[in-house]
Amino acid sequence: MPPESGVGLTPETAVCRIGGGSIANLRLKPAQEALRPPGFSVLLGGAPGDAAEQMRQAFPDPRKFARLHLLAETVGTATVAAIRAAGFDVLPDPSTKFPNHARIINPGGVAGFSDANLERLARAFTDTPTPGR
């Protein structure tokens, strides 16, 4: 079932991207391109440290999930308004582990994730270090 429209999100809602808001971390991977609509995962609400801790709690084994724990050492934060101003949108897409999970999408689909568009999106994010335990 596709995620519901993000119309109900307030413009001030915080949007956290584990791994930061660099263009490299915002590019779609093949599995993300196959989603309908295509997009990448974010967590809604809270502070960067909250998002990092939520990820660490969901995947507690730092050896088995070393990549996730390393990514969680930096969190990019933006607002729904800033993401929309960059030409993208935020759709709630809750999961069992992450009821505040959402997806950043582009109305142009996969083509909307061009380098030029990702540059605008990356400027919407502020990266915060969130060192592990």
The mean pLDDT value of the chain amounts to: 92
Residue 3 near residue 92, CB atoms below 8 Å: yes
Give the pLDDT of residue 47: 95
In this model, does residue 2 exceed pLDDT 50? no
Q: What is the pLDDT of residues 5-53, one digit of tens each?
A: 565 699 999 999 999 999 999 999 999 999 999 999 999 999 999 999 9
Give the pLDDT of residue 26: 98
Q: What is the tally of helices (H) and strands (E) in the chain?
A: 6, 6
Give the pLDDT of residue 65: 84
What's the rounded Cα separation, in Å, for the pair 122 and 35? 21
In this model, does residue 3 exceed pLDDT 60? no
Give the pLDDT of residue 56: 92
Give pTM, 2 decimals. 0.91
Strand extents, DSSP E, the chain = 14-18, 39-44, 74-79, 89-92, 101-105, 126-129
Residue 76 near residue 126, CB atoms below 8 Å: yes
- β-pairing verdict for 14-18 and 39-44: antiparallel
Confidence of residue 1 (pLDDT cuts 50, 70, 90): very low
Phi, psi of 56 (to 5 degrees): -65, -35
Give the pLDDT of residue 21: 97
